[in-house]
Amino acid sequence: MSKGSQFEIPVLFLTFNRLNTAKKVFAEIKKSNVSKLYISSDGPRENKPEENEIIEEIRSYILGNIDWECEIFTMFNNTNLGCKTAVSNAINWFFDNEEMGIVLEDDCLPSQSFFPYCEQLLRHYKDDERVFLISGYNKQQKWKHDQQDYFFSNLGGIWGWASWRRAWKFYDVDANDLDEFIYQDGFTNSLGVELGKLKQDMIYTGLRQNLLDSWALQWGYARHKNNGLTCIPSISQIQNIGFGEDATHTIGEDEANVINFEIEMPMKENTFVVPDLEYDSMVFERPSYVKRLFKKISKFFSNLN
């Protein structure tokens, strides 16, 4: 993007109760000069009425600092719907209105190159139904960056991402056919024995035992059951700044310590549309998925006390 030009890809900004991180992410959205901004904000939790003031402050801050030419759309919940319902409703709303777009949560800090990175891949793979997700986060921070600008994965994170209506249409917040997919060994057939078992256990435990207030597990499941691939940058474009004591869903520390980088645009096309199984296997060497799952489960039960 040239300085002063408008960024034409719509952006959905998801916020909740942390002004500090929301300000930082919003500042990067503002720099990108987006032409369409969707803002979703969940309401205060019933047992935390003090959240009402900070949530209103966040909403007012964002709306009061949109000082560039921009179409603005809002979904402000009066009461707390929780992560599963509030986020999935917001993304449904977004893709009901837009053919493609970027989704940023208020703790996912993008580099400025994240925006044209998403735009290039959104446009290039618009009609390629093999590709479901464009992720800005590379949990290895840098991966074969001397060989390629981006690559494909069976996995891929949702800390700063983009997609299309054509892919999101497969999303089912209740994952109604999960048990049948497991019965037919779907995870093993899609991901292999070891990774398939890990993902099956994570998704089944989180959803069927109702231990996680999650929208993201269902998005992963939608991709796995359709063999949907993810584009991942060879150098990470996202830093998660949401870890800390006040976090609702990011618990403890970011073991990977991934920061965001600027990359040179435009990127060179990767003509090999196949998953990098070596990258995918690294999930076993860095226990972030499993560790985070059980930390969330532990926090869930501690919050009941």
Closest CA to 157 of 238, 270, 99, 93: 238
* Residues 241, 242, 246, 250, CA torsion sign: negative
Task: Look at residue 270 and tell me if it is in a domain.
Answer: yes
Q: pTM for this structure?
A: 0.90
CA 100 to chain centre: 14
Task: Look at residue 41 and tell me if it is in a domain.
Answer: yes
Cα–Cα distances in angstroms (integers) from residue 136 to residues 94, 258, 261, 295, in the given order: 19, 11, 10, 24
Task: Look at residue 90 and tell me if it is in a domain.
Answer: yes
- Note the pLDDT of residue 110: 98
Closest CA to 157 of 22, 30, 28, 283: 283
Question: For strand 161-164 and strand 100-105, is the pairing parallel, antiparallel, or unpaired?
Answer: antiparallel
How far, in Å, CA of 170 to CA of 264, rounded? 33
Task: Look at residue 6 and tell me if it is in a domain.
Answer: no
Phi, psi (rounded to 5 degrees) for 228: -80, 135
Element (H, E) at 298: helix 288-303
Task: Evaluate whether 175 touches 204 at the Cβ level (below 8 Å).
Answer: no
Count of domains observed in the chain: 1
Phi, psi (rounded to 5 degrees) for 37: -125, 120
**Residue 86, domain extent:** 11-303
Question: Measured over all CA atoms, what is the biggest interatomic distance in the chain, rounded to whole angstroms?
Answer: 54
Task: Look at residue 2 and tell me if it is in a domain.
Answer: no
* Residues 19, 99, 120, 190, CA torsion sign: positive
Closest CA to 168 of 110, 214, 99: 99
Task: Look at residue 1 and tell me if it is in a domain.
Answer: no
- Note the pLDDT of residue 255: 52
38 forms beta bridges with 12, 73
How far, in Å, CA of 20 to CA of 22, rounded? 6
Residue at 209: amino acid letter = Q
Residue 283, domain CATH? 3.90.550.10
Tokens 């500042």, located at residue: 27
Task: Look at residue 5 and tell me if it is in a domain.
Answer: no
- Note the pLDDT of residue 128: 98
Task: Look at residue 274 and tell me if it is in a domain.
Answer: yes
Q: How do the pLDDT tens digits run along the chain, 305 residues long? A: 445 689 999 999 999 999 999 999 999 999 999 999 999 999 999 999 999 999 999 999 999 999 999 999 999 999 999 999 999 999 999 999 999 999 999 999 999 999 999 999 999 999 999 999 999 999 999 999 999 999 999 998 899 999 999 999 999 999 999 999 999 999 999 999 999 999 999 999 999 987 789 999 999 999 999 999 999 999 999 999 997 544 444 443 455 689 999 999 999 999 999 999 999 998 756 445 455 555 554 444 334 33
